[in-house]
Amino acid sequence: MSFPADLPTDVATLQALLRAAEERASERDARLAERDAVIERKEERIVRLEKLVADFKRAMFGSKSEKADPDQYQLALEDIETAIATVHAEDEAIDPPKAQPRKRDANRGALPKHLPRVEEIITPESTTCDCGCDRHVIGEDTSERLDIIPAQFRVIVTRRPKYACRSCESGIVQAPAVSRLIESGLPTEATVASVIVAKFADHLPLYRQAQIYARQGVDLDRSTLAAWVGKAAYELAPVYDALIADLKRSTKLFMDETTAPVLDPGKGKVKKGYFWALARDDRPWNGDDPPGVAFTYAPGRSGKHAVDILKGFDGILQVDGYTGYNRVIDPKRQANIRLAYCWAHARRKLFELTKNSAAPIAQEGLRQITSLYRVEAQIRSLPASQRLAVRQDKSAPMVADFKTWLEQARAQVSAKSPTGEALKYIAKYWDGLILFLTDGRIEMDNNTVERTIRPIAIGRKNSLFAGHEAGAQNWAVLASLCETCKLNGMEPHGYLTQTLTAIVNGHRQSQINELLPWNYVQTV
């Protein structure tokens, strides 16, 4: 240790210098210990975040069955993202970040313009200058935050005064009562619309809605809510019929079916019914017709139900490989329907083979199908004529190569092996699989309609089953209107409120098409 040459000779002064040096050393050690603690905490945080990020990647990109419910992965991602945010919040609470230069408001204008704005102005405690003059506004900083007010109930009180003349006895005058969806009942049309959207768009069963209302002191029995929904379904049935009729005037539709467990009151058991979905989405080829979907309940999966639903339709029907659809192309029927099959289902057959083994044949098939999908990604949203031209130029040679590969692969494996069965499936539906090469309106797969029936599956999971076949058809009516609203970017609550109000006010049946979801004009 070195000492300065000019150290004082006074003992007391030397002791004071030593004490000061000890204090500085102690402060330095404390700072070092605090820094080490921060480093240790941040290293621990890095380890936690790295694990969460790894979990996130596995949930997002890891191998998973293509048959698994996508919502399961959404739930996983939600929890992981929440955990990551918690780690950041813990770290910032202990070690607040240093103040950064104020950035430009990135969220300004991002919130929807139709939302009401409540302005609050924050002013300094005093605007008087040091010189005694008043300061003037020369500019301002503006920020927007999203605020949510919990659902509130209010009571609409309707008064109808009675008027009489004091000079004569000509009679009493009173305005007529306003028509209501539920005569002499409690709800407005907006209230009924809210119940419908909560159940059929947000998948909240009626008994849970009743529990939510009870927390705010509004005691409504589940059966009461069910009565409101049933009345609305009856009044909206003509709109639903018009929706189906409009879809069947198209020349290109999708169709699929999903199970609908229904309670059998006579036996006290649940039997299996089906929701059949008929969908239109011409947006991928810039078609003029708006997208829509109509569900129909049927007690079984027989192809005769598809025949009944499709009465009056002529054109291309895009489906999966279910053999029941063969009945719609029966030569005895007058309809001229062509079936386009789904490459995603063909791909799925090969994908299943690669889950537990190398399966080189299946992997090669997957590679070739992926190349076809790359072409589809390039032509999405182009007019049908341009899509067809690109397919003829790029996809047709790929399909020809795939056909050659398919024949050679089938010759290499047993027809009864898993690989042979998958290849047999593709060969069986080949004519329908390659139909997309002849028409730019046809998609490569049936995913469009499969996306529309996903909400049905969620609602089925939350509600367990429909209580009756008639109730299942009401479900189909209301879910059709809600999902068609979503497809068209319409807000279903506003649409249903406006539509129910128009119906109870005597909207003409001859003008029922005006009430279809894509004709709804949202008002502020």
What is the per-residue pLDDT for 66? Answer: 45
pLDDT digits (tens, 9 = 90+) for 233-282: 889 999 999 999 999 999 999 999 988 777 655 555 667 888 899 999 99
What is the per-residue pLDDT for 283? Answer: 93
Q: How far apart are CA 513 and CA 494, in angstroms?
A: 17
What is the DSSP code string of 454-512?
Answer: HHHHHHHHHH-SBSSHHHHHHHHHHHHHHHHHHHTT--HHHHHHHHHHHHHTT--GGGG
Residue 251, judged by CB atoms within 10 A of its CB (0-12, 13-18, 19+), counts as middle
What is the per-residue pLDDT for 67? Answer: 41
> What is the residue type of 175?
A
What is the per-residue pLDDT for 382? Answer: 94
In DSSP terms, which residues pair with 173 in a beta bridge? 163
Assess contact for 209 and 187: CB atoms under 8 A. Answer: no
Assess contact for 295 and 260: CB atoms under 8 A. Answer: no
pLDDT digits (tens, 9 = 90+) for 73-109: 555 555 555 666 666 666 666 666 665 545 544 444 4
Banded pLDDT at 301 (limits 50, 70, 90): confident
Q: Is residue 289 part of a domain?
A: no
Q: Looking up tokens 């879910």, which residue turns up? A: 479
Q: How far apart are CA 340 and CA 350, in angstroms?
A: 19
Torsion angle, CA of 235/470/209/291, rounded to 10 degrees? -60
**Higher confidence at residue 349 or residue 74?**
349
What is the per-residue pLDDT for 104? Answer: 46
8-state DSSP, 176? P
Q: Looking up tokens 């879809």, which residue turns up? A: 247
Assess contact for 518 and 203: CB atoms under 8 A. Answer: no
pLDDT digits (tens, 9 = 90+) for 255-264: 999 887 776 5
Q: Is residue 98 part of a domain?
A: no
Query: With a threshold of 0.85, does the pTM exceed it?
Result: no
Q: How far apart are CA 326 and CA 321, in angstroms?
A: 9
What is the per-residue pLDDT for 4? Answer: 60
What is the per-residue pLDDT for 492? Answer: 94
**Higher confidence at residue 69 or residue 20?**
20
Banded pLDDT at 133 (limits 50, 70, 90): confident
**Higher confidence at residue 44 or residue 390?**
390
Q: How far apart are CA 428 and CA 421, in angstroms?
A: 10
Q: Is the pLDDT of residue 60 over 80?
A: no
Instruction: Report the pLDDT averaged over residues 491-511.
Output: 92
Assess contact for 402 and 305: CB atoms under 8 A. Answer: no
Q: Is residue 411 part of a domain?
A: yes
Q: Is the pLDDT of residue 284 over 80?
A: yes
Q: Is the pLDDT of residue 227 over 60?
A: yes
Q: How far apart are CA 423 and CA 406, in angstroms?
A: 7
CB-side neighbour CA atoms (13 Å) of 32: 6
Banded pLDDT at 384 (limits 50, 70, 90): very high
Q: In Å, how far are 58, 78, 250, 307, 368 from 312, measured between CA atoms?
A: 48, 45, 10, 10, 38
List the single range of 25-34, 357-366, 451-460 with lowest mean pLDDT. 451-460
Q: How far apart are CA 455 and CA 204, in angstroms?
A: 12
Q: How far apart are CA 132 and CA 135, in angstroms?
A: 9
Q: Cα–Cα–Cα angle for 34, 35, 38, nearest 5°?
A: 90
Instruction: Report the pLDDT averaged over residues 361-374.
Output: 94
What is the per-residue pLDDT for 80? Answer: 59
Q: Is the pLDDT of residue 177 over 90?
A: no
Banded pLDDT at 3 (limits 50, 70, 90): low
What is the per-residue pLDDT for 464? Answer: 47
Count of domains for the chain: 1
List the single range of 148-152, 296-300, 511-515 with lowest mean pLDDT. 148-152
What is the per-residue pLDDT for 264? Answer: 59
Q: Is residue 57 part of a domain?
A: no
In DSSP terms, which residues pair with 259 in a beta bridge? 274
Q: How far apart are CA 204 and CA 458, in angstroms?
A: 10
What range defines the domain where residue 403 resides?
Answer: 343-445
Q: Is residue 68 part of a domain?
A: no
Longest dimension (CA), the chain: 123
Instruction: Report the pLDDT averaged over residues 420-444.
Output: 94
Please provide the distance, in angstroms rounded to a whole number, between the alpha carbons at the two ends of the chain. 80
List the strands of the sheet with 337-340, edge to edge: 292-298, 269-280, 252-264, 315-318, 337-340
Residue 63, judged by CB atoms within 10 A of its CB (0-12, 13-18, 19+), counts as exposed
Q: Is the pLDDT of residue 65 over 60?
A: no
What is the per-residue pLDDT for 364? Answer: 93
Three-state DSSP state, 426: helix
Q: Is residue 183 part of a domain?
A: no
Banded pLDDT at 207 (limits 50, 70, 90): confident
**Higher confidence at residue 107 or residue 6?**
6
What is the per-residue pLDDT for 206? Answer: 85
What is the per-residue pLDDT for 271? Answer: 73
Q: Is residue 86 part of a domain?
A: no
What is the per-residue pLDDT for 461? Answer: 59
Q: Which of 343, 453, 455 is nearest to 399 (CA)?
A: 343
What is the per-residue pLDDT for 474? Answer: 84
The pLDDT mean for the chain works out to 83
pLDDT digits (tens, 9 = 90+) for 464-488: 445 456 677 888 899 999 999 999 9
List the single range of 180-194, 394-408, 474-488 with lowest mean pLDDT. 180-194
What is the per-residue pLDDT for 97? Answer: 66
Q: Cα–Cα–Cα angle for 170, 176, 181, nearest 5°?
A: 165
Q: Is residue 259 part of a domain?
A: no
Assess contact for 277 and 436: CB atoms under 8 A. Answer: no
Assess contact for 348 and 66: CB atoms under 8 A. Answer: yes
